[in-house]
Amino acid sequence: MVETFGRNSGQAAVSKIRWECDHVVQRIIGSWLGSWDMTRAHALRFKGDKDCACIVQACMVDDLNGTVLK
């Protein structure tokens, strides 16, 4: 995800990322399922994101009005 962010926003933006241990976030993520059954979602014609780049792009469009952060 960070690599995709860097391709869209540049190394200056990536250099602002601070890697810190957050026990609250770890506990939340640790409670998530490792995998899940998408059969019902697909039957309802929901489609998953193709890849991480699509997720980053959607975030930029939805939350940043398509602005690239370079």
Q: Where are the domains of the chain?
A: 2-64
* Confidence label for 41 from pLDDT (cuts 50, 70 and 90): very high
Give the distance between the most distant pair of CA atoms in the chain.
42
- Residue 29 pLDDT class (50, 70, 90 cuts): very high
Are the C-beta atoms of residues 2 and 17 closer than 8 Å to each other?
yes
Q: Is the pLDDT of residue 1 over 70?
A: yes
pTM of the model: 0.52
Q: What percent of the chain has pLDDT over 90?
A: 39
Average pLDDT over residues 47-59: 85
